[in-house]
Amino acid sequence: MRSVFLILFYIVTSTVFSQDGISLGVGKIPEELTTGANAVVRLASMEINILSQDKMLIKNKRIVTVLNSNGDSKVGAVYHYDSNNKLKVLEAMVYDAMGKEIKKIKKKDFADVSATDGFSLYTDSRLKYLKYTPVNYPYTVEFTEEYETSFTVGIPGWYPLEGYSVSVEKSIYSVVNNSGIEVSVKTKNLENYKIENKENQYFEATDLKAMKYEAYSPGFSNFSPSVKVALKQFNIEGVGGINNNWQDFGKWINEKLLNNTTHLSEDTLNEIKALTADAETDIEKAKIVYHFVQEKTRYISVQVGIGGWKPMLASDVDRLGYGDCKGLSNYTKALMDAVGIKAYYTIIYGDRDVRSIDSHFSSLQGNHVILCLPQQNNAIWLECTNQTVPFGYIANFTDDRDALVITPEGGEIKHTTVYNTIENLLDSKSKIKVDEAGGFQASITTKSYGTQYYYHERIMRKNHKDQVLHYKNYWSYLNTLQINDYNFNNDKDSIVFTENVVLKASKYATKAGDRLLVQPNFFNRIEDVPPKYSSRELPFEVDRGFVDSDEFEIEIPDTYELEAAFEPISISNKFGSYSASVNTSEGNIIYKRKIQLNKGSYTKEEYDTFRKFWQDVVKYDKSKIVLKPK
């Protein structure tokens, strides 16, 4: 009888349905949607009703089954709001694996906190979120929100595939335009997925399988489906605007957000003019201004004003000594204006991955602000939130992407600095003395340029203990490594970072009878090969190329001589090149190595060849020479 009861209980509870007809039992999820997934979006439904230039009604329904702890972040039961929003409905239900209700959460039960990002001094944005700690997996959350907003400059877009390791059973996006105002719509990558455009702005996606992250994959937004919508007449906190194109949108930003924000006190104006009085060129003036800002201010996020888009007054930044990217860039612009240097406020996506403002779709975009100094040939771009970065250096965060430059005439899309492969150089030279026991002592000088400057210069900001640890991690294959001395030279004018390190290690060479086997690549080995995939799904790209050039002079004991060395190695293909050689000079061994990885985008079919290139590099970096007694 007990077995029969359990079977009946399973049948009943596993067929519990939501109000939208979604079976809440985990057993009803198709197997192909659970494969490789941490969470399954059972239903994501967003309905946007545009009522007027300053009024939208947004309804969201979201049902997510979380399969394991890695999927907790995909619940998405969060309501973001500020003074523009009027909340009508907010509730959530939690169900167990069978679809049985565990908990019901009403609006008053949601946690309510400031929407700070961890860097904000203050912000007028807040969020309500479901505060639920799961006891067992899997579990399902049904989340409903409905709110009215006057913030029509930012119409939520549709991104049905929400990231790696998340599958989607059904996602619906609907825009109903009752405003009489024309809307712009931009779709991307819909044709590659199970997505239907049933009406003008009604889209439905079904059975989107979870995607697995693959090494060297392009940015997720490059291949995932999306729909973006923008009103051609919008509102932001009572301020109306026109958005027919980027020029219109940029002109509105200049006139409504930036106008009357650059006033500075007479004392500050006199100070900056005195500092730049002897400068012979505009670039020299601009460098003095930039250094002044770096010395005087620090970065703290401040998300208030018109939708968090209006910068602090330059006079406030000057008085307080801090600001966010908007405020600091605007402050720097005000100082540049004061000494006759033309500078433009610039909106951009800041991220390690290269992501551009969509040049073909004017809308509320970007997450960062920098400064553009127009030049006759190439513009100079300034990162105003960093107190140590060299003038004009933007590698690895805002380089090589389209940005929105705000001029008095309107918005203009410009591409930021591209750091070409050969510019991204790491040049190492070392003198090494090997002893009879197989240990060595050495001095190495490394100079880094371009994008590589950023990765090496950071060591200056560490304390002594962490600097030593950095080198031990960097040369982790030297088990007995001892750092005896080091010093740095940071040439910010030429943007070259030099490291001089004195070190030693014992038991480096391997003894084979009376011979010593030595790997002549002491200090710059590539040891890891990109992962192998039985069937790769995505294309791949190298977003920033680089060159490493090494020359090591190896002094061997007087009692030994070189017996055997590998023949010169040379590889060259579309992905890059590699060369290594061993020669002798005045009794010493000269090891030279050079590797170049080219920037580029490639098909998934080329990945195995790319991986083979890396396998060869790893193999040849381990090449050995043989020393024999005289």
Please tell me the distance from the alpha carbon of residue 53 to that of residue 90, in angstroms, as a whole number.
25
Say what the pLDDT of residue 569 is: 98
Say what the pLDDT of residue 586 is: 87
Angle at which helices 325-338 and 282-296 cross, to 10°: 140
Tens of pLDDT, residues 199-237: 889 999 999 999 999 999 999 999 999 999 999 999 988
Three-state DSSP class for 516? strand
**Closest to 518 in 3D by CA, of 552, 476, 483:** 552
Please tell me the distance from the alpha carbon of residue 124 to that of residue 116, in angstroms, as a whole number.
9
Tens of pLDDT, residues 41-87: 999 999 999 999 999 999 999 999 999 999 999 999 999 888 889 99
Exposure string over 55-65, b if 16+ CB within 10 A, otherwise e: bbbbbbbbbbb
Whole-angstrom distance between the N-terminal and C-terminal Cα of the chain?
A: 90
Which residue would you say has higher pLDDT here, 122 or 59?
59
Tens of pLDDT, residues 339-354: 999 999 999 999 999 9
Q: Which residues pair with 447 in a beta bridge?
A: 427, 498
Mean pLDDT score across all residues of the chain: 93
Say what the pLDDT of residue 199 is: 81
Tens of pLDDT, residues 562-608: 999 999 999 999 999 999 999 999 889 999 999 999 999 999 999 99
Residue 5's pLDDT band, with cuts at 50, 70 and 90, is: very low
**Closest to 283 in 3D by CA, of 294, 291, 274:** 291
pLDDT average, residue stretch 539-554: 98
Residue 198 has pLDDT above 90, yes or no: no
Tens of pLDDT, residues 426-469: 999 999 999 999 999 999 999 999 999 999 999 999 999 999 99
Other C-beta atoms lying within 10 Å of the C-beta of residue 564: 12
Could you give the angle at the alpha carbon of 234 between the alpha carbons of 76 and 114, nearest 5°?
35
**Closest to 574 in 3D by CA, of 594, 549, 599, 595:** 599
Say what the pLDDT of residue 619 is: 98
Say what the pLDDT of residue 120 is: 35
Tens of pLDDT, residues 140-153: 999 999 999 999 99
Question: CATH number of the domain at 2-236, please?
Answer: 2.60.40.3140
Q: Which residues pair with 510 in a beta bridge?
A: 517
Three-state DSSP class for 617? helix
- Element of type H or E holding 515: strand 515-518
Stretch among 15-24, 154-163, 472-481 having the lowest mean pLDDT? 15-24
Residue 307 has pLDDT above 60, yes or no: no
Tens of pLDDT, residues 227-262: 999 999 999 888 899 999 999 999 999 999 999 999
Say what the pLDDT of residue 302 is: 65
Q: Give residue limits of the domains in the chain.
A: 2-236, 245-415, 421-629
Q: What percent of the chain has pLDDT over 70?
A: 94
Contact assessment for residue 54 and residue 231, using Cβ atoms and an 8 Å cutoff: no
Does 3.10.620.30 match the CATH number of domain 245-415? yes
Q: How far is CA 209 from the centre of its chain?
A: 24
Say what the pLDDT of residue 303 is: 57
Say what the pLDDT of residue 15 is: 54
Residue 3 has pLDDT above 50, yes or no: no
Say what the pLDDT of residue 14 is: 44
**Closest to 387 in 3D by CA, of 295, 488, 493:** 295
Please tell me the distance from the alpha carbon of residue 619 to that of residue 227, in angstroms, as a whole number.
46
Residue 301 has pLDDT above 90, yes or no: no
Say what the pLDDT of residue 502 is: 98
Tens of pLDDT, residues 594-607: 999 999 999 999 99
- Class of 421-629 per CATH? mainly beta
